[in-house]
Amino acid sequence: LQPDVSPGNCWPLQGHQGQVVIRLPAQVHLTAVTVQHIAKEVSPSGTVISAPRDVAVFGMDADGEEKTLLGTFVYNVAKEAIQTFPLKNAPLPRAFSYIKLLVKSNWGNPAYTCIY
């Protein structure tokens, strides 16, 4: 993932569901997750149906074996483009090196889901 949120310059996940595992630069005590998608007004298609909708976040150990559910949330395309979601039980008693972002559904695009 790159810090470029130009319309169309996303990390596409095939289909309306998908997942991505992100290696953090160090072990981090997570308290919240922020998700961003482009606004409808700047979308080349005029829609944001490729935005993630139902999302779960997991903390993972270095070998990827142990997963801890950190929280679930709904990214709402009717709200601001940048949305922050506090994680359950934050601050957590342990730090994580990896997080898994599991997109359970998007806003209606059957072909792909975009993560910015």
Contacts (Cβ under 8 Å, ≥6 apart) of 4: none
* CA distances from residue 22 to 39, 42, 100 in whole angstroms, order as listed: 24, 27, 6
pLDDT tens for each residue of 37-76: 888 888 888 889 999 999 999 999 877 667 889 999 999 9
Domain boundaries along the sequence of the chain = 21-109
Which of 28-32, 62-66, 78-82, 108-112 has the weakest average pLDDT? 62-66
21-109 has which fold? Jelly Rolls (2.60.120)
Instruction: Check residue 5 and give its pLDDT.
Output: 63
Q: Contact 93/110 with Cβ under 8 angstroms?
A: no
How big is the CA angle at 20 (ends 3 and 10), to the nearest 5 degrees?
Answer: 40
